[in-house]
């Protein structure tokens, strides 16, 4: 059964369920078997919910047997990044600090996917507290790129990207603070959408940087991505940053036609640090869009060079504040000590990993008396300038286009010893979070056998335009059909 169903898109699986060619139980078993087969090598999952998933699938099959209509995602197995709260199911943020945290409530996205009838297979690995670009910062394990087990899958949502690329889930959710959906999507050759800030509820997403974090879907195809967005987007009165507007039906934008659409190419996104082979691949993609009738011209986002320093001041400052709650008193890890102050110190020293500590210290410094105006406030002013750059560009263009990441996936250990080099790998993604606009990464070919991604950026709540361009590109190329080789020889040959 696995070989028949695994690897199909959500849309294809829905048709199989609809016509009773397969049951949700059979489909769920096929994915669980696949997880057991490939995850010992890939390490995408932190928690697998076999019994719970099969029980949910049985409920869907009961509905089908009674002749009830199936919703688009009903009976479809999926998984969540381990920073989204799941009631009674461990939600660790890949940190020792929350190793034994079982939330008493569900995140809004968890509730909405449950209401849509999806089957939760488990929780996925990530960089600790979503801080990282390679999933090397997880307390538990390093997730491996299915295209090359010696390479990182990207981060921080590495597990979410690998689960889709490795056929361990039909779709997944990740979170994106500075590129954490789009960059792993590019590294693993899948579709990843970072929605407009406020389009998808953050309630129950364990916070890293509250003004930047956003939840979005990983899928095999653009249509699947739109289907998942239909389920999770929309106003949430319990989230004060959720925008009170009605979400559209994103599948209505899936039109194979971009004639006359204006696409801008920011010159700053093709500068120093971009691998020439990646740039070449993206240029080929641009030519495809021109051939399909798009009007393409160069544009400028002049404050791009300040995005990384501004981002790493704002994000670390917000992280310093958000992570202050982990003190051993309320919940989470608690170290043994002789007094309360000693317990605070030991808990945070032992509970947080190296990268998390680095960012807390940077953020605390930026917010400290005498430095707030010089650093945090200045970064917020630069953020406004970056947003104004995008506003100006969108006066002329419908969509902007760039590489998703400067390089294809890099080897384990290649950048982990140099935090600055790791931070610079987000140069093409962080400005989007600072501006709060949507962006999607779609497969755009291979460089040295590894996938690269094309990033499309839109104006606030302009996801529809992104889906239109992405869908047209996908329909006229075959990059989304390329698959990693996960034969038994490859899986057993990769070093652990």
Catalytically annotated residue among 156, 175, 320, 441: 156
Active site residue 29: no
Name 172's Cβ contacts closer than 8 Å, sequence gap at least 6. 78, 79, 80, 81, 124, 159, 160, 161, 163, 164, 217, 218
Of 56, 51, 108, 107, nearest to 77 by C-alpha is 56
pLDDT class of 424 with cuts at 50, 70, 90: confident
Per DSSP, the residues of 125-143 read --SGGG--SSSTT-SS---
pLDDT class of 124 with cuts at 50, 70, 90: very high
3-state secondary structure of 438: coil
3-state secondary structure of 8: coil
pLDDT class of 357 with cuts at 50, 70, 90: very high
The residue-averaged pLDDT of 419-446 equals 93
Of 46, 315, 9, nearest to 176 by C-alpha is 315
Q: Mean pLDDT across the chain, nearest whole number?
A: 96
3-state secondary structure of 86: strand
Q: State what percent of residues in the chain have pLDDT above 90.
A: 93
pLDDT class of 302 with cuts at 50, 70, 90: very high
CA angle 135, 141, 144 (to 5 degrees): 55
Of 42, 61, 25, nearest to 167 by C-alpha is 42
pLDDT class of 494 with cuts at 50, 70, 90: very low
The residue-averaged pLDDT of 209-219 equals 98
Q: Who wins on pLDDT, 370 or 192? A: 192
pLDDT class of 438 with cuts at 50, 70, 90: very high
Residue 7 DSSP one-character state: T
Q: For 165-202, how does the pLDDT look when each residue is reduced to its tens digit (9 = 90+)?
A: 999 999 999 999 999 999 999 999 999 999 999 999 99
Active site residue 81: yes
Contact 122, 463 (CB under 8 A): no
Residue 287 DSSP one-character state: H
Q: For 237-288, how does the pLDDT look when each residue is reduced to its tens digit (9 = 90+)?
A: 999 999 999 999 999 999 999 999 999 999 999 988 899 999 999 999 999 9
pLDDT class of 461 with cuts at 50, 70, 90: very high
Q: Who wins on pLDDT, 77 or 330? A: 77
Catalytically annotated residue among 37, 180, 242, 465: 180
3-state secondary structure of 455: strand
The residue-averaged pLDDT of 385-401 equals 98
Active site residue 180: yes
Q: State what percent of residues in the chain have pLDDT above 70.
A: 98
**Token digits of residue 64:** 């089908």
pLDDT class of 496 with cuts at 50, 70, 90: very low
Catalytically annotated residue among 81, 220, 415, 459: 81
Calpha distance 183→355 (Å, rounded)? 19
Give me the domains of the chain, ranges plus CATH numbers.
10-302+387-492 (3.90.1300.10)
Name 369's Cβ contacts closer than 8 Å, sequence gap at least 6. none
pLDDT of residue 4: 58
Calpha distance 257→326 (Å, rounded)? 50
Of 494, 491, 493, nearest to 36 by C-alpha is 491
172 CB neighbour count, 10 Å cutoff:
28
pLDDT of residue 3: 53
Residue ranges in 182-275 assigned as alpha helix (H): 182-188, 222-232
């Amino acid at each position: 059964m696995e070989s028949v169903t695994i690897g199909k898109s959500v849309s294809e699986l829905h048709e199989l369920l609809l016509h009773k060619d397969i049951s949700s139980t059979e489909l769920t078993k096929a994915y669980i078997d696949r997880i057991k087969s490939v995850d010992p090598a890939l390490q995408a999952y932190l928690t697998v919910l076999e019994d719970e998933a099969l029980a949910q699938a049985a409920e869907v099959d009961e509905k089908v047997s009674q002749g009830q209509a199936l919703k688009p995602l009903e009976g479809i197995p999926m998984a969540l990044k381990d920073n989204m709260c799941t009631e009674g199911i461990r939600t660790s943020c890949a940190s020792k600090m929350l190793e034994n945290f079982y939330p008493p409530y569900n995140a809004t996205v968890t509730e909405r996917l449950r209401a849509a009838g999806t089957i939760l297979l488990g929780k996925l690995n990530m960089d600790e507290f979503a801080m990282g670009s390679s999933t090397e910062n997880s307390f538990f394990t390093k997730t491996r790129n299915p295209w090359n087990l010696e390479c990182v899958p990207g981060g921080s949502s590495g597990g979410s990207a690998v689960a889709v690329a490795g056929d361990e889930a039909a779709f997944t959710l990740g979170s994106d603070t500075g590129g954490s959906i789009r960059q792993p999507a590019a590294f693993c050759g899948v579709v990843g959408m970072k929605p407009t800030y406020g389009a998808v509820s953050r309630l129950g997403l364990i916070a890293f940087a509250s003004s930047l974090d956003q939840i979005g879907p990983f899928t095999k195809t653009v249509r699947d991505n739109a289907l998942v967005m239909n389920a999770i987007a929309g106003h949430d009165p319990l989230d004060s940053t959720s925008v009170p507007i009605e979400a559209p039906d994103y599948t209505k934008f899936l039109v194979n036609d971009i004639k006359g659409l204006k696409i801008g190419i920011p010159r700053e996104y093709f500068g120093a640090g971009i691998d020439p082979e990646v740039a070449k691949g993206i240029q080929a993609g641009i030519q495809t869009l021109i051939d399909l009738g798009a009007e393409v011209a160069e544009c400028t986002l002049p404050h791009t060079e300040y995005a990384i320093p501004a981002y790493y001041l704002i994000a670390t400052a917000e992280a310093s504040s958000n992570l202050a709650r982990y003190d051993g008193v309320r919940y989470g890890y608690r170290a043994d000590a002789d007094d309360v102050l000693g317990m605070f110190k030991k808990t945070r020293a032992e509970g947080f990993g190296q990268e998390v500590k680095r960012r807390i210290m940077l953020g605390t410094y930026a917010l400290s008396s005498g430095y707030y105006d010089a650093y945090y406030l200045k970064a917020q002013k630069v953020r406004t300038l970056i947003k104004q750059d995008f506003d100006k560009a969108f006066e002329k263009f419908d969509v902007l286009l760039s590489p998703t990441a400067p390089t294809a996936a890099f080897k384990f250990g290649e950048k982990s010893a140099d935090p600055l080099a790791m931070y610079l790998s987000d140069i093409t993604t962080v400005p989007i979070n600072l501006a709060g606009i949507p962006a999607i990464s779609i497969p755009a070919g291979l460089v040295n056998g590894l996938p690269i991604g094309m990033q499309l950026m839109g104006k606030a709540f302009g996801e529809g335009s992104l889906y239109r361009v992405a869908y047209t590109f996908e329909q006229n190329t075959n990059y989304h059909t390329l698959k990693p080789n996960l034969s038994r020889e490859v899986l057993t040959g990769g070093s652990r």
